Every structure is written in C-alpha cells, then in structure tokens.
C-alpha cells in the first residue's frame, strides 16, 4: 500500500514541475499593458473613463513593479517618452510564467516621496512632502492572470492622487505684504494598493508683489485629500509691512471636503474693511459654495 502511494506522489511531482530533461518547458505568456494618464477633473472614480490625449502631457517618469504570486519579479523606471505617438505607453513582457500577477505603477514620484519595502506591494507608500515640494503624483494597480501560451493585452490608467488648490486674492490693500494660508486635516500618506492615511497640513506663505486694486494674484498648490468623514480647516494670516506678527489670524472655514483630482478654488476679496471668501469646487462635484464675510480688525 505504501509503495502505491509513493508511486502516485512521484508522478504528481514530475507533472507539476513540467521542466525536466525529457519534458517540454512550461508554457509562457506574453503580456502588453497600455498605460494611460487620467485627465484632470475627471469626475469618475474610474480613471479610464476620461484620459489625457497623451500620457507624456502629465507623466515625466514612471516607476513600475511587477509581482507574481506576491513576489516581486521585475522593476524599472520609464523616463523616455520619445516613442509615444498616441495616448498611452505600452509596457511589454515576453515569457511570463503562468500565475497571478500584480503590476504597480507610480508616476512622477521622487525617490524620497515613495517609501516602504518594495518587495511587498502593500508596503509601498507615498508621503506628502509639503506644499513647496509637491509633485503631480499618479498611481495604478493592475492585477492580471497569465494562463495561456498567448499574448494578453490590458488597459490601465494612472489615477491622480492629489487635489489642486488655487488661491486667488483680489483688491489687496496697499499695506498688505504677506499672506499665509494653512489647510489642515488633510491626509499625509497614500498606500499605493490601499487608502489614504495620516493627518497633516498644507501651508503656504505668499509674499505679495506690488499689485493692487483691480489686479488679482495668487498661487496653486497640490494636497492630498481629506479622509473619509473628515472636513478640512482653512486658517488665514495676513501681515502688514513685513511685520513678524499677523494683524489677522482666523479660521476661514472648517467645512471643506477635499477630493483627489479636484480643482478647489478659494477666492479672497478685500473690500471696505472686510474680507469676502468664496469656495468654488469643480462643477463635476459639488458646484459653488459661498464662504461668508469676515471683519478685518
């Protein structure tokens, strides 16, 4: 009885190995992945629903990590887009063994921003570096299975991971020299295969140029979104004549919901001793929300 069992197990291991001296090699697959870039202000959670006309319009360099059965097989960086003539960049692999794969793509990330043990896909994380150093981050996760001796083709789109906040200031008084804005309760980390985590702030201090009255001025920063069931808080400080202490330091609003790939306009208008605030959210989301008036002391 034992002899029969060992004989059957021996046959099983020979068949499972499929690469032996007297047997043909294991069947291999060929895979092509067409990588697109999500269009700015795409309102769908599916990045493929609205993509850029050319990936190189948004992506400067692309990091890729290919995992098979949870183990990293390959990694690389794409920075030469000269061969791109259409909307996508094609990543190709020849001779992939049969199995379940996961392709991780990260666009425009600096080496310092992307961290974690790259041998484990779930450990890869992007950290918000601050408003002065923010890149335009994109990422995609594509699981696929190779189970035939054939060519498989897949489409995937890199999703924009940040929101874009545009601050505009109108009718600034003549003695206003510096404006500082802090948006708090924003996420600080994005796990590439998972969710946003952490809580922090995006701070920017703006030196006012000698523009006044009818002229508008401002700046644009990128932020990570707010976490689920969390609202961002916007605090503003105003400085006269380059003084160290602000003459105005107040919370403008604590009801902002910041979403990824969203354009958030925050418009500040100075008028007769008051500040009028408007918050305009991209029309594909929530439309227009009034911000209210605040007295200037």
What are the structural domains, with CATH classification, of the chain?
26-160 (2.60.40.2100), 163-295 (2.60.40.2630)
Q: What is the pLDDT of residue 209?
A: 76
Q: Is the pLDDT of residue 64 over 90?
A: yes
Q: pLDDT tens across 232-250, in order?
A: 999 999 999 989 999 999 9
d(Cα 154, Cα 260) in Å, to the nearest integer? 25
Q: What is the pLDDT of residue 284?
A: 41
d(Cα 125, Cα 115) in Å, to the nearest integer? 5
Q: pLDDT tens across 94-113, in order?
A: 999 999 999 999 999 876 78
Q: pLDDT tens across 6-57, in order?
A: 433 443 333 344 444 445 566 688 999 999 999 998 888 899 999 999 999 9
Distances (CA, A) of 286 to 192, 257, 263, 290: 27, 10, 11, 12
Q: Is the pLDDT of residue 58 over 60?
A: yes
d(Cα 42, Cα 273) in Å, to the nearest integer? 39
Q: Which of 248, 178, 259 lies closest to 219 in space, CA to CA?
A: 178
Work out the percent of the chain whose per-residue pLDDT is above 70: 83
3-class DSSP state of 10: helix
DSSP letter string, 219-287: EEEEEPPPPTT--EEEEEEEEETT-SS-SEEEEEEEEE---TT-EEEEEEEEETTEEEEEEEE-TTTT-
Q: What is the pLDDT of residue 218?
A: 83
Q: How does the average pLDDT of the chain come out, rounded?
A: 85
3-class DSSP state of 192: coil
Q: Is the pLDDT of residue 171 over 60?
A: yes
Tokens of 193: 């295969």
Does the reported pTM lie above 0.85?
no
Q: What is the pLDDT of residue 214?
A: 52
pLDDT, mean of residues 142-163: 95
Q: What is the pLDDT of residue 20?
A: 42
């Amino acid at each position: 009885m034992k002899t029969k069992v060992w004989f059957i197990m021996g046959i099983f291991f020979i068949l499972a190995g499929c690469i032996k001296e007297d047997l043909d090699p294991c069947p291999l697959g060929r895979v092509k992945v067409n990588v697109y870039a999500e269009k700015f202000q795409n309102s769908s959670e599916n990045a493929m629903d609205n993509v850029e006309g050319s990936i190189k319009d948004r992506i400067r360099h692309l990091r890729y990590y290919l995992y098979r059965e949870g183990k990293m097989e390959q990694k690389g960086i794409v920075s030469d887009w000269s061969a791109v003539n259409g909307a996508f960049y094609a990543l190709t692999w020849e001779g992939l063994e049969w199995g379940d794969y996961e392709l991780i793509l990260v666009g425009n990330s600096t080496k310092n921003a992307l961290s974690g043990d790259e041998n484990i896909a779930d450990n890869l994380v992007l950290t918000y570096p601050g408003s002065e150093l923010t890149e335009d981050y994109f990422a995609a996760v594509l699981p696929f299975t190779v189970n035939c001796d054939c060519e498989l083709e897949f489409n995937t789109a890199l999703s924009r991971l940040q929101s874009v906040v545009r601050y505009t200031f109108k009718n600034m008084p003549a003695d206003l020299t510096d404006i500082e804005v802090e948006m708090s309760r924003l996420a600080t980390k994005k796990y590439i295969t998972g969710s946003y985590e952490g809580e922090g702030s995006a701070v920017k201090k703006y030196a006012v140029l000698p523009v006044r009255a009818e002229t508008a001025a401002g700046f644009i920063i990128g932020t990570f979104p707010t976490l689920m069931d969390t609202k961002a808080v916007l605090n503003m400080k105003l400085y006269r004549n380059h003084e160290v202490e602000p003459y105005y330091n107040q919370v403008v609003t604590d009801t902002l919901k910041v979403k990824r790939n969203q354009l958030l306009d925050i418009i500040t208008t100075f008028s007769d001793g008051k500040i009028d605030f408007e918050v305009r959210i991209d029309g594909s989301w929530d439309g227009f929300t009034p911000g209210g008036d605040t007295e200037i002391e």
